[in-house]
């Protein structure tokens, strides 16, 4: 789901359409999406292609066939796509794939990570130019709450991030 990126993408001036389950479409519209499609629909690729020439796709799933569907949406004109997992699919010559891994801010993009988390994000959250999305659900108990958090995740959540507060009981 594009919710975590929505503020950045919209501020960059992009016109955004998304895929999600139908029950999340109003929520995504509230975050600024112009149109939403249900990825469960067997003809979702054809539906999206009717919107016109899609130039950039951010594939926030990158598994279970989503990469292949993104490639189809970008045909025949080609375009760019960002994947959040390694891409094992065949990539057509007219598609440029970028990889986006959060962990890179600790390795190859350390300066970017410092700026993003220490400067930009701190200020943007105070100014509310970035909102936290999707909503979080807190599993109680600090680090001892991890099994409960995992159980909640395993049961299935939608448009929700489950978090713990590691120092809930105080950190030493
Ligand atoms: N690159 C990185 O640094 C990084 C970091 C964390 C995770 N990941 C990867 O990112 C992916 C998503 O992780 P997440 O934690 O964001 O999961 P998540 O919060 O559980 O979000 C998944 C949501 O995406 C929607 N969805 C599922 N399958 C879809 C599909 N085929 N097409 C469109 N939407 C689909 C579902 O929305 P509905 O509820 O509306 O159906 C689901 O709730 C995973 O593959 C994970 O391994 C990458």
- 154 Cβ below 6 A of ligand 1: no
Model confidence at 36: pLDDT above 90? yes
Q: Which residues on neighbouring strands pair with residue 59, listed in sequence order? A: 83
> DSSP letter at 120?
I
pLDDT band with cut points at 50, 70 and 90 for residue 2? low
pLDDT band with cut points at 50, 70 and 90 for residue 168? confident
For residue 72, give both structure tokens: 């189809």
Whole-angstrom distance, CA of residue 20 vs CA of residue 5? 14
Within-domain flag for 125: no
**pTM flag (> 0.75):** yes
Nearest atom (ligand 1) to Cα of 64? 31
- What is the pLDDT averaged over residues 55-74? 95
Within-domain flag for 127: no
Within-domain flag for 111: no
Compute how many other C-beta atoms are within 10 angstroms of the C-beta atom of residue 16: 19
Q: Which residue has the higher pLDDT, 6 or 37?
A: 37
Whole-angstrom distance, CA of residue 134 vs CA of residue 113? 21
93 and 139 together in one domain: no
Within-domain flag for 23: yes
Residue 170 is part of which domain span? 135-172
- Determine the pLDDT at residue 124: 87
Cα of 79 to ligand 1 centre, how many Å?
22
90 and 38 together in one domain: yes
- 61 Cβ below 6 A of ligand 1: yes
Q: What's the Cα-to-Cα distance from 39 to each of 4, 19, 59, 159, rounded to whole Å? A: 18, 6, 12, 15
Within-domain flag for 86: yes
For residue 170, give both structure tokens: 């105080």
Within-domain flag for 89: yes
Ligand 1 pocket test, candidate residues 84, 152, 162, most atoms within 8 A of CB = 84
Instruction: Give CA angle at 39 (149, 60), nearest 5°.
Output: 55
pLDDT band with cut points at 50, 70 and 90 for residue 3? low
- 66 Cβ below 6 A of ligand 1: yes
75 Cβ contact partners less than 8 Å away, ≥ 6 residues apart? 92, 94
Nearest atom (ligand 1) to Cα of 99? 1
Within-domain flag for 96: yes
CB 114 within 8 A of CB 128: no
Cα of 1 to ligand 1 centre, how many Å?
6
Within-domain flag for 113: no
The number of folded domains in the chain is: 2
User: Which CATH number covers residue 40?
Assistant: 3.40.50.720
- How many residues are listed for the chain in this entry? 172
Nearest partner of 137 among 123, 148, 122, judged by Cα: 148
pLDDT tens-place string over residues 108-162:
999 999 998 899 888 988 988 888 888 899 999 999 999 999 999 999 999 999 9
Nearest atom (ligand 1) to Cα of 103? 3
pLDDT tens-place string over residues 69-113:
999 999 999 999 999 999 998 999 999 999 989 888 888 999 999
Ligand 1 pocket test, candidate residues 26, 36, 61, 137, most atoms within 8 A of CB = 61
């Amino acid at each position: 789901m594009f919710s975590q990126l929505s503020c950045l993408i919209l501020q960059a001036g992009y016109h955004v359409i998304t895929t999600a389950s139908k029950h999340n479409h109003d929520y995504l519209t509230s975050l600024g999406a112009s149109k939403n499609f249900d990825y469960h629909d067997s003809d979702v690729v054809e539906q999206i292609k009717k919107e016109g020439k899609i130039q950039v796709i951010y594939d926030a799933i990158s598994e279970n066939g989503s990469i292949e569907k993104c490639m189809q949406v970008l045909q025949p004109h080609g375009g760019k796509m960002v994947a959040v997992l390694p891409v094992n699919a065949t990539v057509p010559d007219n598609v440029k794939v970028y990889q986006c891994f959060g962990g890179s801010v600790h390795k190859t993009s350390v300066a970017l990570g410092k700026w993003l988390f220490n400067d930009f994000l701190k200020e943007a959250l105070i100014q509310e130019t970035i909102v936290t999305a999707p909503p979080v659900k807190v599993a109680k108990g600090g680090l001892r709450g991890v099994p409960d958090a995992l159980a909640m995740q395993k049961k299935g959540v939608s448009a929700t991030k489950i978090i713990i507060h590691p120092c809930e009981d105080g950190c030493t």
